Structure formats: structure tokens, C-alpha cells
Structure 1
Amino acid sequence: MKGILLVNLGSPDTPNPKDVKRYLGEFLMDERVIDVPLWARTLLVKGIILNTRPKASAKAYKKIWWEEGSPLIVLSERLQDKVQKRVDYPVALAMRYGSMTLKNGLQELVDKGCTEIKTIPLYPQFAMATTETIDVKIDELVAEHFPQVKITRTPAFYKREDYINVLSTSIGEVLNGLDYEHILFSYHGVPERHIRKSDVTNGNCKMDGKCCFKKGSPQHEFCYRHQCEITTINVAKKLGLKNGTYSSTFQSRLGFDPWLKPYTDRTIERMGKEGIKKMAIVTPAFVSDCLETLEEIAMEGEEIFHEVGGEEFTVIPCLNERDDFAQVLTNIIEEWAKTPENAIV
């Protein structure tokens, strides 16, 4: 019997510092999130970050917390429900970090008789710190607890036509009739070294912006930067955006190592200072609104823009539980169910 496991990032159980500290500890100790030797990661995370950051992060979570709970969890559950109503297979939901564990999600499907499980990370673009860490953890759990289960992975869906159509529609619904001067496509940032570590061509990636657009490179299947740039290009083409009225940026830096550029916060500040008065911003690396979109962009980003003279700052929601996005996931599931021999395992 086939089953589906949708996987998102995760969230603290509550916005209280104790729960936020526990969540951050699990998240930041992942070797694919902070990819330094264990001793250095332990010193950084347990010796510094967890002694300073939980209170500030808890304050941020409280700003965006819903009555029903964490927005990311609530929205993911709504999406799961819509997908379940569209397919004949059991659909479970799990998080890479937090109490909604991958093990529990797999166990839920196994208890329903599933022996073939398709995992769908809810990330349109591949990254070492998102999709890869899910794949690796799933493999570990299956080997240890579910050896009878066959896992089928889902490749990044950033360039699927149906996904681009839905993302473009969601953006167009906000832009239609909106008087704006520039739209930022803000993607979650990753360290530049993550891109190099994911380079299957062993050195082709020069981080100069050229190989991102070189056709036919095998690196593109695992290059987060390339996939973000192509997402922007495809949406801009679909919406008929004019050159110079849109750009891609990267948010959420940590530490002092170079991360993907340009940075979202600095771009917002620069454009405001240069006289841009009306800006729109969308966050295509996230399918569910969360701390990074509701607080970092919608609150902090808007504050930066207004401080430097900007006037109108329009935040475009993530795809969340949109019916047409639920249908994209349904299409992915149905394609797998019809041609399982062609699935990537």
C-alpha cells in the first residue's frame, strides 16, 4: 500500500523561551544546517547561541503566534487536509525538527499498512539544509525502524509548470491593480559553502552568477542558488514583469561567513534610500508563512523600508493552503502513483 509523507521545517511547541530553546537546539545542531565540526558546532550552539538567542526568538514568535498555534504548523495541517481529500492514499504530515517528528509520521503511515512511502519536502528548491537533511534523516529512520518500507523521494519542484503557474497566480492576484515600483523575490539564505558542497561537478560552481544560467549543467539539480534564480525568471516571464522592476535577494544570515547575496535587508534599505517608495515582496522558498515571512519580512523588512523613506511595503503571502497549490502536490502524487518505476528512489 502506498502512502504520502509531507514534510516541513518545524516549529517550537509554544513561543515560550524554554520550548524555543529546545527547538533551536535540535535545529542548529543539525550538521547540514551548521556544517562545521561537532566540537565547533557544540561550542557555538550550546555555548553561545542557546544562552543568548532563545529569549529574543521567543519574543519574535509571540508576535506572529496564532490562537490555533504556530502558523507554519497550522497552515501545513490545512494543506495536508486538502491534499488528503484529493488522493486515495494516506497522507501524513511531519516536521524535520520539533515534536511532530519524522519517525512519528512514518509510523503513522506504517500503522495504516503502507509499505511504499513517497516523501514530499515542502521546499520548491533543493538545499543541503532543507531537502537533503530530510532525505538523510528519513534514510536513517528507515534503516533502523522501518526496513520493510520503500521510500521514494521527490525532486525539487521549482520549475514544474503547474507550480510556476500557481506561484505566478498568487503573486499576480496581489500585484493586479497595485501601484508598485519594484518587487523583491526574497529567498532564504544559505552560506556560500553550502552551494559548493552540493556541487556534483567538483568545482564547476564559481559563485560568480554565470554557471547559474549555463544550460545543461548537472550541478543545477542540486544548486539552490540556480533554482532560486530560475524560479524568479520563470515567474517574471509568466507575469510579464519588465526588466529592472524585479530582483532576487536572500534573507536570514547567521554568523560571519559569506552567505548568498544580495542580502534582502540591505537591498530594502538601499532601494529606500535610492528613492523607491512602493515595494512588493514575495518569499518563494517558503510554501507556508512562518517566522521568517511574518516577522522578519512583514515586520522587520517594512520597518527598515519606512525608516529610509519608503512608503508602501506590500508583502505577498506564501502559497499556504491554496487549493491550486494542493492540486500541484496532488499532481506530483498522481504522477508517482501512475509511473512508480520512473520515480527517483
Structure 2
Amino acid sequence: MKGVLLVNLGSPKSPTPEDVKPYLDEFLMDKYVIDVPFLLRALLVRGIILRKRPKESAHAYQQIWWDEGSPLIVISERMHKKVNKKVELPVSLAMRYGQPSIETGLQELADKGVTEVLLFPLYPQYAMASTLTILKLAEEIRAKKFPNMTITDVPAFYDKPDYIKVLANSIKSSLEGYNYDHLLFSYHGIPERHIRKTDVTKSHCKIDGSCCVTPSPAHKFCYRHQCYETTRLVVKELGIPEDKYSLTFQSRLSGDKWLEPYTDIEVNKMPEKGIKNLAVVTPAFVSDCLETLEEIAMRANEDFKEHGGENFMAIPCLNDSDPWIDVVVNWINEWAHAEKPVA
């Protein structure tokens, strides 16, 4: 019997330092997120970051927390319910960090007699700190707890035509009636070394401005290439002039070289360049979360206006919109009725 496990990032139980701390500990102690030896990672996370970050992050979560709970969890649950109603297969929901866990999701499917699972990481672009960590943990749990279960994963869908179409239409709909000067594609940042670590050729990825547009097997696992490709395809679909959009990366940690250009720095420069009406879309996420609602819709908005900007629009993620749900349902049905994995 086949079944589906949708997996998103996760969230603290509540926007309090007491609940944010264990969530951050689980997240930042993941070797695919902070990819340094365990002792150094523990020293950095538990000896330094967790001394201040839980209080700061709790304050940020408090700014965006909904009455129903964490926006990411609530949106994921809504998506899960809609998908569940449209497919005949059992569908469960899990989070990489926090609850419900991946083990809980797999157990829920196993209890319904599922032996073949379509693992669906809700990330358009592939990255160590998102897709890979989900795949690795799911396989570890499967081998230990569910040895008779098989798992097929949905590959990064950054360039799938139906995803590009629904993303472009969502952006177009949001921009109706808004006379924007510039559209910014802001993607979650990752350390540059992650790009090199996921380079299957061990030589292609140089982050030099040309490697991402030079065909290579490395692109299957290159987050940077996939971000640029998503942007290129959406811009082409919408017919946006080259001088009216740009791409940046947000949410960096200090101490490492992360993908550039940085969202906050670029946003602050825009008003002096004559960009007074800015729209920002965040295609690294399919669900609105702390990084989109607080970092972009609140902080970037405020910074933009403090530097002379006039109007700022944060374009919502796809969330549980019906067109996006239909795309997800179609992919699931393709897998359910095919002998081979989703391509």
C-alpha cells in the first residue's frame, strides 16, 4: 500500500524562550545545518548561540504568532488537510524539527498499512540544510523502525513547469494594482561551503558567476543554481525586464562566508537607487514562516522605509492556495499510478 509524508521545517511549540531553546538546539545541532565536528558544533551552539538566541528568537516569533499557533505549522496543517481530501492515498504531515516528527509521520502511515512512502520535502530547491537532512533522517528511522517500508523522495522541483506556472501566477496576482519599481527574489542563505560539499563533480561549483549557467551534473544538487533557475524561469513566464528584478540571499549567520548578495544590505541600498516601491518574493519557502513574515514583511519593510523607501510589498508564499494544492495532488497521483519515482 502506498502513502505520502509531507515534511516541512518545523517550529517551536510556543513563542517563549523555554520552547524556542530546545527547538533551536535540535535545529542548530543538526550536522547538515552547522556542518562542523560535533564538539565544535556543541561549543558553538550550546556554549554561545543558545545563551542569547532563544530570547531574541522568541521575541521574533511573538511578532508573527497566530491565535491558532505557529504560522508554518498552521499553514502546513491546512495544506495537509486539503491534499488529504483530494487523493485516495493516506497522507501524513511531519516536521524535520519539533512536532509532529518524521518518526511520528512514518508510524502513522505504517499503522494504516502503508509499505511504500512518497517522502515529499516541501522545499523547491535542494540544500544540505533542508532537503538532505530530511532524506537522511527519514532513511535512518526507516532502517531502524520500519525495515519493510520503502521510501521514494520527491526531487527538488525548482524548475518543474507546473510549479513555475503556479508560482508566477501567484506573484502576478499579488502585484495586480501595485506599481512596483523593482521585484526582489529573496532566497534563504546558506554557507558557500555547502555549495561545494554538494558538488557531485567536486570541481564544477566555483561560485564565480559562470558555473551556475554552465550545464553540469552538479546542478541537480546545487542550491545556488536552482535559486537562479527558479528566478530565471519565473521572470521569463512573467516577462519582467532585466533591470526590474534581482536576486539576494537572507538569514545568514555571522562568522562564515554565505551566499551573496545579502538581502538586508541590498534592500537598504535600493531607495538611493531610485527604487521607492519594492515587492519581495521568497521562493525558497512554500509556506510563510518566521523568515518571510518577520524577517522580510516586518524587518526588511521597516529598514527599506527608514532608508527612504515608500511602499513595500511582501508577496505571500504559495501556502495552501488551491492552485498549489492541485500541483501537489497531481504529483502524488503521478507517483501513485507509476512504476518509477517522480522525476
Question: TM-score, with normalisation over the residues of structure 1?
Answer: 0.98
Aligned to 1:66: 66
Q: Give the Cα–Cα distance (whole angstroms) in 2 for the partners of residues 340 and 330 of structure 1.
A: 17
User: Counterparts in 2 of 1:176-187, with a 5 A limit?
Assistant: 176-187=176-187
Q: Give the Cα–Cα distance (whole angstroms) in 2 for the partners of residues 209 and 87 of structure 1.
A: 42
Task: Give the aligned residue type for 1:329.
Answer: V
Deviation of residue 283 (structure 1)? 0.2
Deviation of residue 343 (structure 1)? 4.7
The SS at the match of 1:244 is: helix
- Does 2:98 correspond to 1:82? no
Deviation of residue 341 (structure 1)? 2.8
CA contact (8 A) 1:191 1:257 kept: yes
Task: Give the aligned residue type for 1:218.
Answer: P
CA contact (8 A) 1:166 1:324 kept: yes
Deviations 1:206-235 (A, max 9, x none): 1112111113x1001000000000000000
Q: Give the Cα–Cα distance (whole angstroms) in 2 for the partners of residues 155 and 91 of structure 1.
A: 18
CA contact (8 A) 1:123 1:156 kept: yes
Aligned to 2:144: 144
Deviations 1:83-105 (A, max 9, x none): 11111000000000002100000
Aligned to 1:131: 131
From the superposition, tell whether residues 11 and 342 of structure 1 become closer, same or farther in structure 2 (CA, over 3 Å): closer
Deviations 1:162-210 (A, max 9, x none): 1001000100001122111100000000000000000001111111121
- Does 2:275 correspond to 1:276? yes
Unpaired runs of 5+ residues, structure 1, are: none
Q: Give the Cα–Cα distance (whole angstroms) in 2 for the partners of residues 51 and 342 of structure 1.
A: 44
- Does 2:327 correspond to 1:310? no
Aligned to 1:292: 291
CA contact (8 A) 2:155 2:342 kept: no
Q: Give the Cα–Cα distance (whole angstroms) in 2 for the partners of residues 295 and 282 of structure 1.
A: 14
Q: Give the Cα–Cα distance (whole angstroms) in 2 for the partners of residues 18 and 196 of structure 1.
A: 36
CA contact (8 A) 1:286 1:318 kept: yes
Aligned-pair Cα RMSD in Å: 0.9
Aligned to 1:266: 265
Deviations 1:101-131 (A, max 9, x none): 0000000000011000000000000000000
Q: Give the Cα–Cα distance (whole angstroms) in 2 for the partners of residues 264 and 166 of structure 1.
A: 24
Aligned to 2:332: 333
Aligned to 1:245: 244
Aligned to 1:320: 319
Q: Give the Cα–Cα distance (whole angstroms) in 1 for the partners of residues 31 and 261 of structure 2.
A: 25
The SS at the match of 1:341 is: coil
Deviation of residue 40 (structure 1)? 0.8
The SS at the match of 1:340 is: coil
- Does 2:9 correspond to 1:9? yes
Q: Give the Cα–Cα distance (whole angstroms) in 2 for the partners of residues 343 and 323 of structure 1.
A: 21
Q: Give the Cα–Cα distance (whole angstroms) in 2 for the partners of residues 17 and 272 of structure 1.
A: 36
The SS at the match of 2:208 is: coil
User: Counterparts in 2 of 1:9-48, with a 5 A limit?
Assistant: 9-48=9-48
Q: Give the Cα–Cα distance (whole angstroms) in 2 for the partners of residues 255 and 35 of structure 1.
A: 15
Question: TM-score, with normalisation over the residues of structure 2?
Answer: 0.99
Task: Give the aligned residue type for 1:298.
Answer: A
Give the fraction of aligned pairs with identical amino acids, expressed as a percent. Answer: 60
The SS at the match of 1:107 is: helix
From the superposition, tell whether residues 309 and 343 of structure 1 become closer, same or farther in structure 2 (CA, over 3 Å): closer
Deviations 1:45-104 (A, max 9, x none): 000111111001000000000000000000000001111111100000000000210000
Aligned to 2:227: 228
CA contact (8 A) 1:275 1:309 kept: no
Deviation of residue 342 (structure 1)? 4.3
332-341 vs 1-10, greater mean Cα deviation: 332-341
Unpaired runs of 5+ residues, structure 2, are: none
Q: Give the Cα–Cα distance (whole angstroms) in 2 for the partners of residues 340 and 221 of structure 1.
A: 22
